[in-house]
Amino acid sequence: MKLKLFNGVIVCLFLLLILIFWQGLHSNNEPQAMAEISKKNYLETIFNNAQIKTKKLPSGIKIINIWSSWCLSCQKEHGFLLKLAKQGYALIGINYRDDENKSRQWLKQHKNPYKLILQDPNGQLALEFGIAGVPETWLVGADGQLHYRYQGEIDQVAYATLLEKLQILQREIS
């Protein structure tokens, strides 16, 4: 009788373990980590801390793209950024660990999609976004809240997702 109870407890614990792992598979990775970043006005806070004048920022929906002239993936995704700029979205470029002159030359060669370029030679501004590597793209709502993050090179699929998210953000305004 006691042995049966004991076996029952073991089986229950095992099932519980499976449930926990199953949930882990489907949960968003680290929701708590994003809590700070997804706060309203986070962008303003970062920029204030970095002593960048927020008045310079374009109003409305913004796309923040962290890029470098030494990054090959950035070159590949550049066409999509130009497309986004053509559609009237305000792009802010954060030039990550780069030489300012080299980045200017790079933009001359590949065309400039950015309305505003922020130099980040030490990578400290990009750290505030929890960046793992370049390129990385963020969508910022008109309220200054960071809504969507895309890590890595923008391809056809990612571009479609970005457009979709941007449309949702626009619907929220109107």
Nearer to another protein, 6 or 22 (CB): 6
Helix (H, G, I), strand (E, B) or coil at 2: helix
Question: Nearest approach, Cβ of 6 to another protein (angstroms)?
Answer: 8
CA torsion, ordered 36, 40, 44, 45, to nearest 10 deg: -30
Question: Nearest approach, Cβ of 172 to another protein (angstroms)?
Answer: 25
Nearer to another protein, 38 or 105 (CB): 38
Nearer to another protein, 33 or 142 (CB): 33
How far apart are alpha carbons 92 and 150 in whole angstroms?
15
Question: Nearest approach, Cβ of 124 to another protein (angstroms)?
Answer: 6
Site of interaction with another protein (CB under 8 A): 29-30, 32-37, 68, 96-97, 122-124, 126-134
Question: Nearest approach, Cβ of 45 to another protein (angstroms)?
Answer: 12
Nearer to another protein, 12 or 127 (CB): 127
How far apart are alpha carbons 49 and 162 in whole angstroms?
28
Sign, CA torsion 126/71/79/109: positive
CB–CB of 38/146 below 8 Å? Answer: yes
- Would you give the DSSP letter of residue 167? H
